[in-house]
Amino acid sequence: MSTVAETSPSEPNGPIEPTAAERVRSVVAGAESLSLTTDGQEYDLIGMHSVSRRGRITLHPQADSPLAAQVARAPRGSLAALLEFTDIAPTAVRARVRAGVTVSGWLTPARDGEAPALELDIARVTLRTAAGTVEVGLDEMTLAAPDPLAAEEAAMLTHLTDAHEDMVAGLVALAGPRIPHGFTRAVPLALDRHGITLRYEYPSGHCDLRLLFPEPARNAADAGEQICRLLVAPAATAHLHHPSSRS
């Protein structure tokens, strides 16, 4: 089984999760590595990319690297490239891959001359999640920003799991009848400014429950306060969405 549940916020007409563009920006900004495919070559790059405030991706290979040499040999100094980012849950849950982002375009030497930095002229962006695959417009990418909790999400979720079992148990209990009986354990899966998601694991699959905060969190400290508010006043906090079948 794999289903996702979601809570009702205090303002039901407001946003309840990041947009696809915001999700992409969060995944790309938070990733420590990426897979790069060019004409006839594949690279696994670790700690070698950066993202500007407007979403421009820059690679930072060594000056004597095969990638830098390949770009230098490319016609007109422009190399077609496909970048793949994988969003993996920081906690030890089943099926840890939460999303995948594919960005295609052309690599060219950085305009400011900071060799051997390579800028990606983006042509297409795709986001893959359990809910399906969507294309994200380039204007949306430029205007979006990473979720304010993206940089600290991993540390917050692991700390919550390792040091606050009582709080996790309280969050787990908020599921009530919305989650099928018989789960073997429940673990925090994801966190963003709109809420926290728990994964309930069963012998034959899992079910995700998204608990929406009373108000969007502005930063990590505020997210902690919103979690406490859920535990103190948990009324109307969850409902199912993106249903899928038992596996």
DSSP 110: -
Residue 2 has pLDDT above 90, yes or no: no
Task: Provide the residue ranges of all domains of the chain, joining segments of one domain with +.
Answer: 2-17+149-241, 20-143
The residue assigned the tokens 């034959």 is: 204
Q: Please state the rounded mean pLDDT for residues 63-72.
A: 93
Indicate the fold that domain 2-17+149-241 takes in CATH: Split barrel-like (3.20.180)
Residue 114 has pLDDT above 50, yes or no: yes
Asked if the peptide bond before residue 116 counts as cis, ω within 30 degrees of 0, the response is yes
Look at residue 12 in the predicted model and tell me its pLDDT.
Answer: 43
pLDDT in tens, 93-112: 999 999 999 999 999 998 77
Name the percent of the chain lying above pLDDT 90.
77
What is the dotted CATH code of the domain comprising 20-143?
Answer: 2.30.110.10
Residue 229 has pLDDT above 50, yes or no: yes
Are 241 and 2 in contact, with CB atoms under 8 Å apart?
no
The residue assigned the tokens 């919550």 is: 160
